[in-house]
Amino acid sequence: MMSASYQMYIDGAFCEASDGRRFTSTNPASEEEWATFPEATAEDVDRAVKAAHAAYLDGPWARMTPRDRGRILKRIAAELETAGPELAIAETTDTGKLLRETRWQARNLAEIYDYYGGLADKVEGRIPASGDTAPLSLILREPLGVVAAIVPWNSQLQLAAFKIAPALAAGNTIVLKPSEDASAAIAAFAEVMDRAGLPQGVFNIVTGSANPCAQTLVSHPLVRRVSFTGGVETARKVITSSARNIAMLSLELGGKSPVVVYDDADLDSVVNGVTSAIFAASGQSCAAGSRLLLQDKIYDKALERILSRAKEIVIGDPMGEDVHMGPLATRRQRDRIERLLDDSSKAGARILTGGGRAGRSKGWYFEPTIVACDSQDYPIVRNELFGPVLSVLRFSDEAEAIALARDSDYAFAGGVFSQDFGKAYRTARAIPAGRFWINTYRVTSYMMPFGGSANSGYGREGGIEAIHDYTQTKAIFADLSGERVADPFVMR
């Protein structure tokens, strides 16, 4: 039964779609429709972008000092301290992500906004060195304008924060679109932004389908920057659409991240690291370590221990405090995983544990699954599954491990376990990735950049550098000599 009704947030006000249409969201743990959202029209998106553009050009935000913008970001952080638990419940209900994790991420949100609030008045230009007779030269860093931010359903509040916080700190305005598969946490977050006192039009949320909502947003002539997190196929459409307005673009996409385990690794750390890499968040993470590469000498022993640990994972209601894995977020994702597993099994892959629906009558649950693979060409090895499925491969030496790890269309993250730091470091340097772990996995910090290359996208989010990605440079030359400008046709 429906229990929640959310609105969009445009030009400082909560609102419905212009034609009154709404869409529903389903709780993945119960398969019950539980919330509704406005289905934005192209006209709604246009209104949101124009409101953001007006706020960027002429509103109080345009005249605000960087320090005052920073104070507003810190107010957002303070509001999140109170609103965090409620936002966590909304996200868990809508996505099936464990409440224990969404609560932690909600607490972390406040730190992200506080961090970028502190950076707002530190976006500085420079004065290049010049000769005594040269004009004064200034290089300024200025905001871009309207930023279109599109986030997926997984870790949506955290992923949105890595776009919103640096963009606002740099002086831009934003139109944010959450995934139509799960929009509740983002829609609820609008209340936080409203209470924080952002000037009208600076921050806007539109909800709805890819077409017309997302397509209209990324191709809008007033949008100067598009920040997209999602899948590869959708990213290709975003690239095409954003070409119409020549918007700057960053893409944070998926991964098929390798975890290399050498025969001198500490197996206790390996078991915990691999479990975290693939089964945390039910494997629904772009950084999921879904390709496990085990060296010959420890292959059997390490695999036996990882299998044993996988069989101990508690699957259940994501609201439960003792649950290790909740459901997948969508039925569509579960069906795709089943299809790719079946295709791989027919090709020769061997399912060692899992591979089924966890024996539950309701909910899009899927068992922790480990598959022995003697080829990198199986569909489950080549494709990002976005679920709790681990492909295990064998290697003989460092060179083969690196070759196997590199053999992928993705380059988002990866990990290596070895007590020989030199070997571990060489491996980390040799494997293409935007983020890499040595003797651990999934440890993160908002002060560190992340992103990928190849089919994992381009651009980086997080850290100090991110704020510069929402600015552009302007060069100014000023003649301070007091002399008249020389005749341009007289050469001296």
Which residues are known to be catalytic?
252
Look at the block and give the residue holding tokens 């039910």. Answer: 282
Structure tokens at 193: 């932004």
Structure tokens at 191: 């209340």
Structure tokens at 279: 């089964």
Q: Is residue 174 within 8 Å of residue 223, measured between CB atoms?
A: no
Distance, CA of 440 to CA of 272 (rounded, Å): 8
Strands 203-205 and 291-295: unpaired
Amino acid at residue number 220: H
Q: Is residue 89 within 8 Å of residue 176, measured between CB atoms?
A: no
Q: Is residue 113 within 8 Å of residue 76, measured between CB atoms?
A: yes
Amino acid at residue number 74: K
What is the CA 80 to chain-centroid distance, rounded? 19
Interhelix angle 421-430/398-406, rounded to 10 degrees, is 30
Q: Is residue 75 within 8 Å of residue 104, measured between CB atoms?
A: no
Query: How is residue 134 annotated by DSSP?
Result: S
Least Cα distance to 177 among 169, 186, 189, 185 occurs for: 186
Least Cα distance to 181 among 47, 393, 21, 25 occurs for: 25
Structure tokens at 417: 């376990």
Distance, CA of 414 to CA of 115 (rounded, Å): 26
- What SS3 state is found at 326? coil
Number of separate helices (H) and strands (E) present in the chain = 15, 22
Query: How is residue 142 annotated by DSSP?
Result: E
- What SS3 state is found at 166? helix
Interhelix angle 299-311/267-279, rounded to 10 degrees, is 50
Q: How many CB atoms lie within 10 A of CB 217?
A: 29
Distance, CA of 37 to CA of 25 (rounded, Å): 8
